[in-house]
Structure 1
Amino acid sequence: MPIRKQYNLAVAPARGGVMTMDASAVAGGLAFLESELEKVDPLLREPLTNTTYPRDIVIESGGGWVEATSNLNVHYAVTGGQGDGVGGVQNAIRRIQADLNKDMWKVMPYEVAMSIKIQDQLRGAVTGRSIEDMYNDGIRLDYDKYMDINTYLGQKAYDTTGLLNNPNVVAASVAKGASGKTTWKDKTPQEILNDIDDAIVSAWAAAQYDNSAIPNHILIDPANYAYINRTPFSANGTTAALSLLNYLQDNNIAKAKGVDLVIAECRFCTGAGEGSTNRMVAYVNEKRFVGMDVPVPMTRVMTQPNIGTASYDSLYMANVGQVKIHYFEPFIYRDGI
């Protein structure tokens, strides 16, 4: 009579008499049954984050692995100045003069590497999920976070600043409202509009009332942005489907001068002002006024096998410049909102 091979399906209970997924018995034949009865969610949940730098600054790519970027400025002067008697018939003809100077801007390297074990690559063919794709997404996230900090705050290690903390931009507190406070949640819609118009007009006046220098971009903290967006506004006692944000965008002095004003939220504005107050930033978001060079966008520069670690190692690099504010006159900080 032939001997039949028998399989022992008895399972010893794990810790506390409760069967767990890490019990030794599961590592045997039952592991297959468990995986068959397990519904796997194919969605890979990545960290929650947000980056806004492409919205708030003009980025120019190209230039290669340079150590610095530069630009030229020109200032004009006329002998004899401008006063009474200018023009007409004169014995002394005035002469124009031009003074050229150069600004130098730092460029900083960005580097990050990834190492993928060969067996992890082979496992990806079984699981259908690529570890390399996950690492690529992680590197892209790290680069975007780096660019966000570089745009708004600069890099302390390189002694650079960003849009929100340049020491050459004069900061001032907004005026107090009827409540005796400067914060927008304690002000009337008209008082908030006055704060915005004051910033715009101050920038415009500092730029010799050059219409091209009227600010078209304002950054505020997310809490105040949410407040003006959710607060309804009605004019002349009428009820209208209009938020305070819409009212501010449609009735500011920039709009009256033909400039479409963007009011956007920026998390770095929270606590950026004097005394850790919330800061409002008004500026002209155009290449002529402010920008940032990225001579080499992030790219994979090399990949090679590493026998010692049984992996493929890849290096990603970029060449990133600092925030360049070309005109400080139409750049305004207002604190205490």
Structure 2
Amino acid sequence: MLTFDQATVDGTGAFLVGELERLDQELNMPLVGYTWSRDIQLREDVSIADDISSFTNSTFAAPGTPNPNGKNWIGKDSTAIAGPMVDIAKTGFPLTLWGMELGWTVVELAAAAKVGRPIDTQKYDAMQLKWNMDTDEQVYRGDNQLNVQGLTNYVGAALTNAVKSWATSTPDEIRASINKVLSDAWAATGYTLVPRDLLLPPEQFGLLSSIIVSSAGNQSLLSYLRENTIAYHQNGVPLNIRAVKWLKGAGVGGTDRMVAYTNDKKYVRFPMVPLLSVPVQYRGIYQLTTYYGKLGAVESPYPETMAYVDGI
């Protein structure tokens, strides 16, 4: 006897429903989270025709007179006057083409539409989900195959180890470790910029949320730290503390890592060409369309503005 059950037709979302079966019509998508759009700004001047995104860093040198290490004093009758020297270096990262093809038959399309679960829409949602998942990993971890880094492992950022884990630390010791990573980045910039953002692994973020520091029991350590670090007193805005799943095990030896940086396009950004599509193509009873875009690599003209701490 020929039967059509879930194993043969569920690819289009059409199922056999019995008399005493109540099927919930809501579509339950995969449970996936991504936060890349929250933690970094896009560099939007790149196009689909570009193969590389690049930027320059200028280095200045200005010897003093008469002391090369002093100020530029000159006399009223000076004829040999020093001038500044400029060197411009370029840094480039690949813009890599990303693409997926969506396809279905007109029979599948008609069947799925009849039961209220259009397969073309679901495949588009699946493609968007994969795009965001790939982007999320590219932003935070980079890509080993392309040999590019992300926000959590950028070459040039200062790296130190925590004195001890936060699970065994007092609230004052946790606050001191945060102030230290902020101070390290501040010192690396010649005391120009204190990081405004702090990224933590989920467990450490939850720990800050659970520790109560107020005698009245109405303020968590997380709330307290937003306005009681050098970041708030130097920048005038609360420290932006957020949880990122990619930081769990991101440190050396699989330890958890903390990232201090400033979410500003001037200091760190991510080149991206948003998804484009080609017109639907018809091949027999098949309908096909391709979506494509380009993902770059995290750029930081000023890597000294970032600092990492492992072993928290």
Distance 1:34 1:101 in 2: 66
Answer whether contact 1:282 1:331 (CA < 8 A) is retained: yes
Runs of 4+ residues over 6 Å off in structure 1:
none
Q: Does 1:146 align with 2:146?
A: no
Equivalent of residue 330 in structure 1, options 289, 305, 312: 305
Displacement, 1:193? 0.7
Give the aligned partner of residue 220 of structure 2: 243
- How far the C-alpha of 1:156 sits from its partner, in A, is 1.6
Q: Which runs of 5+ in 2 are unaligned?
A: 6-15
Whether 1:204 and 2:192 are equivalent positions in the alignment is no
CA distance in 2, matches of 1:34, 1:224: 47
* TM-fit CA distance, 1:70: 1.7
What residue is the counterpart of 2:169 in the other structure? Answer: 187
SS class of match (2:87): strand
Distance 1:85 1:286 in 2: 34
Once the two structures are TM-superposed, the CA of residue 52 in structure 1 deviates from its matched residue by 0.4
Q: Could you tell me which of 306, 313, 317 is aligned with 2:292? A: 317
Higher-Rg structure is: 1
1:240, distance to aligned residue in structure 2 (A): 4.1
Give the letter aligned to residue 232 of structure 1. Answer: I
Counterparts of 1:284 and 1:82 in 2: how far apart (Å)? 35
Q: Distance in 2 between matches of 1:34 and 1:103?
A: 60
Change (3 A) 1:21 1:203: same
Question: Which residue identity is paired with 1:217?
Answer: D
Q: Report how many aligned residue pairs link the two structures.
A: 295
Asked if 1:131 corresponds to 2:119, the answer is: yes
> How far 1:319 sits from its partner (Å)?
1.1
The 1:109–1:264 alpha-carbon spacing in structure 2 relative to 1, beyond 3 Å, is: same
| Matching of residues 1-337 of structure 1 within 5 Å | 35-65=18-48, 66-80=50-64, 83-84=69-70, 86-87=72-73, 89=75, 91=78, 92-175=80-163, 182-210=164-192, 213-234=193-214, 238-257=215-234, 258-294=236-272, 296-307=273-284, 310-337=285-312
Q: Go from structure 1 to structure 2 and tell me whether the alpha carbon gap of 1:285 and 1:85 turns closer, same or farther (over 3 Å shift).
A: closer
SS at match of 1:326: coil
1:74-117 deviation line (CA, Å, top 9, x unaligned): 11111337644543647443312222222212101111111111
CA contact (8 A) 1:302 1:316 kept: no
- C-alpha distance in 1, partners of 2:17/2:95? 54
Q: Name structure 1 gaps, 5 residues minimum.
A: 1-19, 23-32, 176-181
Deviation at 1:299, TM superposition (A): 2.4
Q: Compute the TM-score of the two structures, normalised by the length of structure 2.
A: 0.88
CA distance in 2 between counterparts of 1:84 and 1:172 reads 34
Give the CA RMSD over aligned residues.
2.2
User: CA 1:256 to 1:311, structure 2 compared with 1: closer, same or farther past 3 Å?
Assistant: same
- Paired residue type of 2:221: L
Structure 2: distance between partners of 1:300 and 1:21: 35
1:201 offset after TM fit, Å? 0.8
Q: Measured at CA, do residues 225 and 242 of structure 1 come closer, stay the same or move farther in structure 2, by a change above 3 Å? A: same
The CA deviation at 1:38 is: 3.0
Distance 1:136 1:253, change over 3 A: same
Code of the aligned partner of 1:241: N
Q: Secondary structure at the match of 1:324?
A: coil
Secondary structure in 1 matching 2:185:
helix
SS of 2:95's equivalent? strand
**What's the % identity of the aligned pairs?**
30
- Taking a change above 3 Å as real, the CA distance of residues 203 and 321 of structure 1, as seen in their structure-2 partners, is same
Over 3 Å counting, the alpha-carbon distance change for 1:242 and 1:125 in structure 2 is: same
